[in-house]
Each structure stands twice: as C-alpha cells, then as structure tokens.
Amino acid sequence: MSTNSLFNQIQLEGHQLSNRLVVAPMTRRSATSAGVPTEAMVDYYQAFARGGFSLIITEGIYTDSLFSQTDLNQPGLVNEEQMEGWKKVAAGVHKSDALIIGQLMHGGALSQCSAKTIAPSAVQPKGLRSTEKDGLTGPFPIPKEMSEEDLSDVKKGYVQAALLASKAGFDGVELHSANGYLFDQFLTPHTNLRTDRYGGNTYNRLRFLMEVYTAVKEAVPAKFIVGIRLSESKVNDLRYRWPGGSTAAVEIFTVLKGLHADYLHIAAEGGNWARECLYGDGSSSSGLAKKITGVPIIANGGLHDVQIAESLISSQQADLISIGRAALANPDWPRRIAEGKSPIPFFKELIKPSLTLQHTQAVLEKLAGNSSGNRMVL
C-alpha cells in the first residue's frame, strides 16, 4: 500500500512541514505540582520530533490561575517559571526540525482538581470524575454560570498564555474546543442554557470561542499559528454526537468559515474515526470542515490505520493526520511507516489518559523486555 500522501510536504501559515503526521494532544500529568514542565517532558516531546513527526501538539495546558486547571500536575502557561520550562521543551523539538504547538485548555465544568468550577450555565455535567486520576472523585459539582467578568478573565488568560507560548518559542497554539471542555460546553445545547448573546443559535454558541480566537490572533506575532480543535464526543460522554449530524456540522463550519482559523483539528476522542466522524449520508466532519471553511484540516481518531489516513488525505477530507495512542507506543511511528516496519501495538495499560509519563515508560519497558529498540526515550 502506498503511504506517499502521508509523506508529502505541506505549508501551514508560512511554515514548511516535512510530512502530514502530527502528534495528537495527550494529557500526561507529569509537570511539577506548580505546573512547570520537567526534564522528562523535554525528552518525551523530543522523542516524537526525532521519530519523524513534523508537528507536535502538546497536552492541554491551563491558561489562568482562576478556574482553568483540569488536572493535578497539569502544566500551565500562566507565569515565567512555566514559560521557562516550556522553552526547553520547544528547543528540544526544534532540534529535529519539527514544529510545536501548545494546546491551550480551560476545563470549565470538567475540572478533576477544583472544587469550584465555572461554565456557560449552572448545569451539572454527566458522569463522574475519573477515579484513576489523582484529585477529586465523585460527581462533578454544579458549575457557576459565567458572568461577563468571568468571560473577560478567561479571554485574558488565553491571550496571556498565547503570548507566553510565543515567548517560550512555540510555533503556535491550539484552542481546545473539543472533548466536553469549556468552549465545547458553550457549543453544546444542553450545557449552554444562556439567553444572552452567548446562547441560543449556533453562531451565539460559537461566539465566545471566536472572540477568544480573534483576541489571541491579534495579540500574537505574524506567522504564529492559532488553530482550533473540535470534536463531537466528550470525555464524560463518548457517545455524544452533534444533534442533527451533518446538518449541524454544516452550520458549525459555515459559522467558523468567517474566522479564517489557521487550521481546524477535527477529533474523534474515542479513537474511532468512522464511528465518530462519518455521517449516514456519507459525508464526514473533517471533509465538511475542509470543503466549507477552506482552511487546513487535521483529522484524528484511530488514524494509525494507514489505509484510512491515506484515503482521508487523497480524497481531500483532511490535510494532516494526528496520531495519539499509537504515538505513545511508537514515538517513531512516521519512521516505522516510511521504512515499512510494523509499529508496536498499543495496549490498554499504555494509553489510559490517567497514566503519567513514568507509568507509560514502565509499561513500555515491560513490553520491550527492556530492549532499547522499543523504548520511548524519556
């Protein structure tokens, strides 16, 4: 099978990428308790760049010291110390000529570590907090409905975090508007009951994201990439789909077209592209996003299946492919595919979002019987 289309170059906001392969954002909960990236994280991200990925999107990074943090030991970008930690990560990735984008994330109602949360409306989230992660357990609390002041604080947080990302040497940031977190809570009708200009029709439910996007884009230097990630499924509701299927997708992308985002990252959080991104009428969310907005599209979800990944690129349903779990087991996934070597299969114990870098390393060592050929370099 030809894998050529995955290895063609592409331009993204004036940056040359050597192939179409991107590391998907993956929470690692391996920063210090003060949210500062560690040396292990420098090695972890560098391994993907050495392994041939042309673009690495980091784990979700919190954006302010108020309500944005989602996990304990999550890294932040709210002060100079955290920025200095990220500077080392970015420099490590750049040694191998890959780009690095920081995923900026506000957990909204889905924080695993805050007793008090904020969200578009005071609606208790479905599901329970993860028992596998350190932090709080049990039902998510009922969040406080965000006031105008809260909206302004969140926007300021994103702008400041993006400026710190630029200072740290990142090539761009991704606004995390997927998986059930804050911006997705605005987009989702049952978690957004607002009657002001941020609630109601699709445009209003995307308004806050678009305002933050515009504020960030205006603040950062030219050529600094600002993308947006969207998904239908949510961490606390993997079965959720946009009500109306492809009709809803058309509406969403028609609104977002006016934003001219640097890219859209259309994700299948549950890791199954066909189940989460394909509609009954044969269209797909990434394909509709590409056709309607005309901006570069990253597709995600089970796309370590090279045949599907290839077909999405060649049928113009995506420009880039992001790989999550398979990249954890194979930081050198692109090299393996290019050289026709089989990637190491990934196992449940390896890919649980609850696992830290140290746990992942331990599992990989067990799998590899400590042979250095299969090890993720940490």
Ligand X SMILES: Cc1cc2nc3c(=O)[nH]c(=O)nc-3n(C[C@H](O)[C@H](O)[C@H](O)COP(=O)(O)O)c2cc1C
The count of residues interacting with ligand X (CB under 6 A) is 25
Question: Binding of ligand X at residue 324 (CB under 6 A)?
Answer: yes
State the nearest-atom distance from the C-beta of 206 to ligand X, in Å: 18
Which positions from 284 to 303 touch ligand X by CB under 6 A, shown as an x/- string? ----------------xxxx
The CA-CA-CA angle for residues 229, 45, 134, to 5°, reads 75
Q: Judged by CB under 6 A, which of 229, 263, 286, 317 binds ligand X?
A: 229
Q: Which of 62, 158, 181, 263 is catalytic?
A: 181
For residues 279 and 298, is the Cβ–Cβ distance under 8 A?
no
Q: Judged by CB under 6 A, which of 89, 248, 323, 329 binds ligand X?
A: 323
Kindly provide the b/e burial profile for residues 332-352, where b requires at least 16 CB atoms within 10 angstroms of the residue's own CB. Answer: bbbebbeeeeebbebeeebbe
Question: Binding of ligand X at residue 180 (CB under 6 A)?
Answer: no
Closest to 225 (Cα-Cα) out of 6, 17, 2, 7: 17
Q: Judged by CB under 6 A, which of 37, 51, 52, 60 binds ligand X?
A: 60
State the nearest-atom distance from the C-beta of 110 to ligand X, in Å: 12
State the nearest-atom distance from the C-beta of 342 to ligand X, in Å: 17
For residues 264 and 289, is the Cβ–Cβ distance under 8 A?
yes
Task: Give the start-end residues of each E strand in the chain.
Answer: 10-12, 15-17, 21-23, 55-62, 99-105, 118-119, 128-129, 138-139, 144-145, 172-176, 225-231, 263-267, 297-300, 320-323
Told to judge if 181 belongs to the known catalytic residues of this protein, a careful annotator would answer yes
Question: Binding of ligand X at residue 351 (CB under 6 A)?
Answer: yes
State the nearest-atom distance from the C-beta of 201 to ligand X, in Å: 26
Rank residues 254 and 354 by Cβ distance to ligand X and give the closer one.
Answer: 354
Question: Binding of ligand X at residue 232 (CB under 6 A)?
Answer: no
Cα→Cα distances 250→162, 203, 287, Å: 29, 12, 10
Q: Applying CB under 6 A, which residues contact ligand X?
A: 24-27, 59-60, 103, 176, 178-179, 229, 267-269, 271, 300-304, 323-325, 351, 353
